[in-house]
Amino acid sequence: MNKIKILAAALVLASGQLLASGVATVSTGDGKSKVQMSIEYDAGHTRMNMPMESQQGSGYMLFRDGKVWMVANVQGQTMVMDMARMRAGHPATGGAALQQEFISARPTGQKARVAGFSGEVYELTWKETGQTRSDKVVLSEDPVVVEYSNAWLGMAEGMAAAMGHKMKNSISGYLRKEGLGMLKMGDSFEVVSIKPGKVDARRFNLPKSTFQMPSMPR
pLDDT the model gives residue 195 = 96
Per-residue confidence (pLDDT) for residue 164, from 0 to 100 = 65
- Give the pLDDT score at 53: 53
Candidates 149, 135, 134, 218; CA nearest to 183 is 149
Count of the separate structural domains present in the chain? 1
pLDDT given for residue 98 in this prediction: 44
Phi, psi of 130 (to 5 degrees): 80, 0
CA distances from 57 to 36, 72, 77, 84, 153 (A): 17, 7, 9, 23, 26
pLDDT number for residue 6: 34
Please tell me the predicted confidence (pLDDT) of residue 177: 93
How far apart, in Å, are the Cα atoms of 204 and each of 46, 48, 63, 80, 143?
Answer: 7, 10, 8, 13, 23
For the chain, residues with pLDDT lower than 50 are 1-19, 54-56, 89-98, 214-218
Q: Which helix (H) or strand (E) holds 210?
A: none
Q: SS3 for 135?
A: strand
Q: Are residues 134 and 123 in contact, defined by beta-carbon separation less than 8 angstroms?
A: yes
Per-residue pLDDT tens over the stretch 75-127: 778 888 887 776 654 444 333 334 578 999 999 999 999 999 999 999 999 98
CA distance 144 to 41: 12
* pLDDT on residue 213: 54
- Per DSSP, helices labelled H in the chain are 2-18, 83-87, 143-162, 171-178
In a domain, 193, yes or no: yes
Say if 207 falls within a structural domain: no
- Looking at every residue in the chain, the average pLDDT score rounds to 79
The pTM score is 0.78
pLDDT at 38: 94
In the three-class reduction of DSSP (H, G, I as helix; E, B as strand; rest coil), residue 173 is classed as: helix
Judge whether 172 lies within some domain.
Answer: yes
Residue 205: inside a domain, yes or no? no
Domain that holds residue 138: 21-199
Distance between CA atoms of residues 10 and 4, nearest Å:
10
Give residue 99's pLDDT. 55
- The answer as to whether 41 is a domain residue is yes
d(CA 141, CA 67): 28
- Per the domain annotation, does 12 fall within a domain? no
Residues 6+ apart with CB under 8 A from 201: 42
Residues in contact with 115: Cβ distance below 8 Å, sequence separation at least 6, in sequence order: 183, 190, 191, 192, 193, 194
In a domain, 4, yes or no: no
Strand arrangement, sheet containing 67-74: 77-82, 67-74, 57-64, 45-49, 35-42, 22-28, 189-196, 181-185, 131-140, 117-128, 101-114
DSSP SS3 for 115: coil
In a domain, 8, yes or no: no
